[in-house]
Chains A and B, each alone.
Chain A
């Protein structure tokens, strides 16, 4: 069974640029959630995808967008990067979608630095 993988591991961008982060979900999981973890903080929910549809969103602006593909892998896109976007971005996969009670399994994260 393959765990959750994320790429790239680290990324450095400048303000105003755009970035795409990628996540491969654990085998058999159909739900992907994205979280932002700022330094010294707990993860903050960005959004969740279930069967290629966004089915929940946290308090993040529209410049944070995502996709889920038929194989349940996912992308997080951030446009017009700001300094405060510097954080560890975590992807988590689970089985069940909306209302599901299964635990989420997290990837190692992508460390984004915005200069």
Chain B
């Protein structure tokens, strides 16, 4: 069965500093990996995805993520955090088989960016 782990419940960072939100996954075969962000009282917004190719994926709002197959990780990064980045971030994995495109989500990491 596929699974995702987000080891940090919360990440605190000062505005202007780089941020990293960690994600590790477990799936047989090649994974499809996603990051979503959730603001209060809002649905999930897609940030970026890794399917194949370059291990560094660039996404929306200046976010990027690095796929590391040997460490089974897909950490979300941003060079310079903004207060407006404060939200709940979810990593998700989809197994690339001919089944329904089911996403398995982690438990989420709350990012708090302060001035």
Report which A residues bind B (CB closer than 8 A): 4, 6, 31, 33, 35, 40-45, 47-48, 50, 55-58, 90, 92, 94, 96-109
Known A-B contacts A41-B107, A106-B36; A98 and B98 likewise in contact (beta carbons under 8 Å): yes
Question: Is the Cβ of B101 less than 8 Å from the Cβ of A48?
Answer: yes
A86 to chain B, nearest CB (A): 16
How many residues of B sit at the interface, in one of the four size bands?
20 to 34
Within 8 Å by CB of A43, from B42, B44, B49, lies: B44
Question: Is the Cβ of A33 less than 8 Å from the Cβ of B51?
Answer: no
In the bound complex, residues from chain A placing their C-beta under 8 Å from that of B34 are 103
In the bound complex, residues from chain A placing their C-beta under 8 Å from that of B49 are 103
Within 8 Å by CB of B43, from A31, A55, A96, A107, lies: A107
Question: Is the Cβ of A31 less than 8 Å from the Cβ of B101?
Answer: yes
Report which B residues bind A (CB closer than 8 A): 4, 32, 34, 36, 41-46, 49, 51, 90, 92, 94, 96-108
- Measured between alpha carbons, how far is A97 from B97 in the docked complex, in Å? 12
- Measured between alpha carbons, how far is A97 from B90 in the docked complex, in Å? 22
In the bound complex, residues from chain B placing their C-beta under 8 Å from that of A42 are 4, 90, 92, 105-108
A52 to chain B, nearest CB (A): 14
Question: Is the Cβ of B46 less than 8 Å from the Cβ of A105?
Answer: yes
In the bound complex, residues from chain A placing their C-beta under 8 Å from that of B105 are 35, 42-44
Question: Is the Cβ of B100 less than 8 Å from the Cβ of A55?
Answer: yes
Instruction: List 14 A-B pairs, Cβ < 8 Å.
Output: A4-B43, A31-B101, A33-B101, A35-B103, A42-B105, A42-B106, A55-B100, A92-B44, A98-B98, A101-B101, A103-B46, A104-B46, A105-B46, A108-B43
B29 to chain A, nearest CB (A): 13
Known A-B contacts A42-B108, A43-B90, A103-B34; A96 and B44 likewise in contact (beta carbons under 8 Å): no
In the bound complex, residues from chain B placing their C-beta under 8 Å from that of A33 are 100-103
- Measured between alpha carbons, how far is A45 from B3 in the docked complex, in Å? 13
Known A-B contacts A101-B96, A103-B34; A94 and B101 likewise in contact (beta carbons under 8 Å): yes
A72 to chain B, nearest CB (A): 15
